[in-house]
Structure 1
């Protein structure tokens, strides 16, 4: 990518409800159109072979939220260009499978596979309908992958629990739910509460005909906990990363000014009994 690619431009923004199908279609459409710009903008921070949980820079190499993965069969949910899975392969994990809703993101994954020599098996799929057998994986994880983009969090969590073996571990990061009260502004202007924490209508970017181009969904902390419990998972930890002093980057609504006083990310660590 020699020229800087651009993100899709919406015709308008709405807060409204969405069906599962509409949301999934919007996700495929937007990420296929945005993948080039996303990898151009964030590729250096993510690293071709790197496992970063969040814009704060929480790195699995230090955090070890997945625990001991030696000999594990691992599933990455919403993998983008497969950077996290590729890091696991580089650490000696033999069986890692990754999927994403976007074909274009998976093409970037294949490109980086060829450049690094570390190959990650991938499939195009939707977290709401996983194409894997029950109890197929020892570990599942998602680093800001599919879960911010699903309207029915409990259904996606149940699907993940279904493919996890008893005793398995599931860890995922999402936008911290409290962030939905505030504007998507990383400066001090983003610290003024503007809307109800309990407003669960989706954030939807639309084209000039009202067709959804992008959708992101709000679930409260309680929604996530209830969904995990209903899926039969046990919550072991919820990590709320503080903004580190050595990270001065701005990533959308994330940045050091607001990030040092308000949480931007929630990471849930769970197990299946």
Structure 2
């Protein structure tokens, strides 16, 4: 293995594994790499995570983080193929907005919502950048397995805070960082990566490349605090009712796969 290579497991918590090459973080290069990934094979390789699921073995039906969204203005960061927007549209949200880095994902969302008899205002842009989303406007901003793709976590959280009304709610999920440090070997869980390693890396999966960083939980918590959020709830417990007999589920019984944070704008 090259000295600049680092073993990474469960790239975004969905069971993928491989050797990652450490890279320097260049925002434009990361955006280009990841948008190409999602424009081409992203859904085929990683699939799609959408409400009511927050990630592996965690659901909104159990957590009840949103409550009643009827009449609420909703913005999704990383709208993917549109299923989470559909989920809120069917629960009578008054406005649906979505942003995504990938033109292909935006088009999938548009087609999906149209087929469901719903509409949304959709914007293709990196989440870190100003893109015409109104400020002090939304009741909820949420993100299901997308926030981890940002190149600027603190800047993204500040921008999300600007979109929300006072006391507005931000809910997001991502792969739990401890899960990404551990692999199953010979019926044992073995650490393969330092939890404290937040370096950027690239991984090639099925001839497609993506670039990510694995952030500590404290990095997310501190960035939320700096952006003016108060954390109301954090979920890192898997739902036993969603478990199966797979090796992935057995690992999830030992340590969290997904974490979800609900925070309020002060």
TM-score computed with the length of structure 1 as normaliser: 0.81
1:117 Cα deviation from its structure 2 partner: 2.0
Alignment of 1:1-273 (within 5 A): 13-37=20-44, 42=47, 46=50, 50-58=51-59, 60-131=60-131, 132-145=133-146, 147-183=147-183, 191-205=189-203, 213-248=209-244, 255-273=248-266
1:12 Cα deviation from its structure 2 partner: 7.2
RMSD, aligned CA? 2.6
- The CA distance in 1 between the partners of 2:219 and 2:171, in whole Å, is 16
Unaligned runs of 5+ in 2: 1-17
Unaligned runs of 5+ in 1: 1-10
Q: Which has more strand, going by share of residues?
A: 2
1:243 Cα deviation from its structure 2 partner: 4.4
Deviates more, 1:135-144 or 1:120-129: 120-129
1:4 is matched with none
Q: Deviations over 1:102-141 (max 9, x none)?
A: 1111222223223322333322121101421321211100
**Corresponding pairs, count:** 246
Secondary structure in 1 aligned to 2:41?
A: helix
TM-score computed with the length of structure 2 as normaliser: 0.83
- The CA distance in 2 between the partners of 1:178 and 1:144, in whole Å, is 16
Structure 1 residues 22, 175: CA separation in 2 closer, same or farther (over 3 Å shift)? same
- The CA distance in 1 between the partners of 2:261 and 2:58, in whole Å, is 16
1:213 Cα deviation from its structure 2 partner: 2.9
1:6 is matched with none
